[in-house]
């Protein structure tokens, strides 16, 4: 992910030289407006509203960041500065199952690398990647606070512990079977 490109795209969006993707879906705008109406206040609402929108969309497209900035009366680049500062926010779409492999000290000591390797072997993902069908995305996080279960991984909001290579494989294959993807051959890319 290149920050330079992102900035160029933000600039393009701001000067209106943009593409059709600049349009924000009316539902998203309604979501933002409802949130801001229900939570009166000032610019301190930026991070909570970003959380709310990312929860809904799975990521924060630039036109959405711009729309939020306008409503809070700050410049788009100020809002983007916040988005890019915090690891939790992402400007690229994530998978339906977001894998967050814990790389905290306890997991590190108990071989968390093998979890990352097993994810890679099973679905071909590197850290930061998304499968082509957007079923899985992979992140590494700094400690889930589940050190007793090390090595651990979070899939969306659920923590899985005592992971082995085989355990990771089984878990991912189970999730894939559960999802019954329409394009069974379309996985394995590094989005």
57 touches another protein by CB under 8 A:
no
Give me the least distance between CB of 75 and another protein, in Å please: 13
Which residues 6-35 are close enough to bind another protein by CB under 8 A?
Answer: none
Pairing of strands 153-155, 158-160: antiparallel
Residue 144 phi, psi (nearest 5): -90, 0
Residue 120, both tokens: 């890679």
**Which sign, positive or negative, has the C-alpha torsion 57, 60, 64, 68?**
positive
Element (H, E) at 101: strand 97-102
Q: Does 170 bind another protein (CB under 8 A)?
A: no
Q: Among 38, 40, 157, 185, which residue sits at the site for another protein (rule: CB under 8 A)?
A: 157
Edge to edge, what strands does the sheet with 153-155 contain?
136-141, 97-102, 153-155, 158-160
Regarding 169 and contact with another protein (CB under 8 A), the answer is: no
Q: Judged by CB under 8 A, which stretch of 22-30, 58-66, 101-109, 174-182 contacts another protein?
A: 101-109
Instruction: Pick the binder of another protein from 11, 155, 159, 175 (CB under 8 A).
Output: 159
Nearest residue (CB) to another protein, 158 versus 177: 158
Least separation, in Å, of the C-beta of 168 and another protein?
A: 13
Asked if residue 110 binds another protein (CB under 8 A), the reply is: yes
Q: What is the phi/psi pair of residue 135, to 5°?
A: -80, -45
């Amino acid at each position: 992910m290149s920050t330079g490109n992102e900035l160029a795209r933000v600039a393009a969006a701001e000067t209106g030289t943009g593409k059709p993707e600049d349009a924000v879906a009316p539902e998203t705008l309604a979501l933002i407006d409802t949130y801001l109406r229900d939570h009166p206040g000032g610019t301190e609402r930026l991070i909570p509203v970003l959380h709310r929108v990312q929860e809904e969309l799975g990521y924060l497209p630039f036109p959405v960041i711009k729309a939020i900035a306008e409503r809070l009366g700050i410049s788009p680049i100020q809002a983007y500065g916040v988005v890019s500062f915090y690891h939790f926010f992402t400007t690229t779409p994530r998978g339906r199952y977001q894998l967050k492999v814990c790389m905290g000290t306890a997991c590190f000591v108990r071989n968390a690398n093998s979890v990352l390797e097993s994810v890679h072997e099973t679905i071909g993902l590197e850290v930061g990647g998304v499968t082509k069908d957007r079923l899985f995305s992979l992140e590494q996080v700094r400690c889930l606070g589940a050190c007793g279960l090390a090595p651990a991984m979070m899939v969306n909001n659920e923590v899985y512990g005592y992971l082995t290579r085989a355990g990771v494989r089984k878990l991912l294959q189970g999730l894939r079977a559960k999802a019954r993807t329409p394009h069974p051959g379309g996985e394995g890319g590094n989005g």
